[in-house]
Amino acid sequence: MSAIKSCNGQIKLSTRKIIVMSLIVAFFSVVANLWEWKQRRVFHKNVKYKTYSKEKLQKILDDFEYMISCKDPYIENFCKKNPEFKNLHHLWTLNSHTYWTNKFKKAIERGG
C-alpha cells in the first residue's frame, strides 16, 4: 500500500479515493438516517405523549433529568418508572433526548 503523504509532506489525493470515500460517507449517512427515522416511528407508536396530562409529562422529564444527573444513572430504572419507554431503544432514548424532551416541553406549553 502506498504512502498517504508524498516526500515533501503533502497529502496525495486521487479522484478514485475521493469518490470511494464519498460513497462510504453517503452510505452510512443513509443508514443512520433510516435508523433514526425508524426509532422516531417507534417512539410515536409507543409514547402517546399528546394524550398525557401536564403532570405526567413533567414527571417523565423530571425522571429523565434525575437519571442524566447521575443520581440514578441506569436507563433500566428510568424505564421501570416510565413503562412507555420500555420498548424504545435505550441508546436512542439517551442520544436523541433533545428530540423527545422538546416534544414534551411543547406539549406542556400547549396545556398537556
| Residue-wise pLDDT tens digits, 19-74 | 999 999 999 999 999 999 999 999 999 999 999 999 999 999 999 999 999 888 89
Give just the sign of the alpha carbon dihedral 64, 69, 75, 77: negative
The 10s digit of each residue's pLDDT in 89-105 is: 999 999 999 999 999 99
By three-state DSSP, how is residue 78 classified?
Answer: helix
pTM, entire model: 0.75
* Dihedral pair phi/psi, residue 5, rounded to 5°: -110, 150
- DSSP H or E stretch at residue 35: helix 15-46
Alpha-carbon distance of 96 to 65, in angstroms, equals: 14
Nearest residue to 43 (alpha-carbon basis) of 95, 11, 89: 89
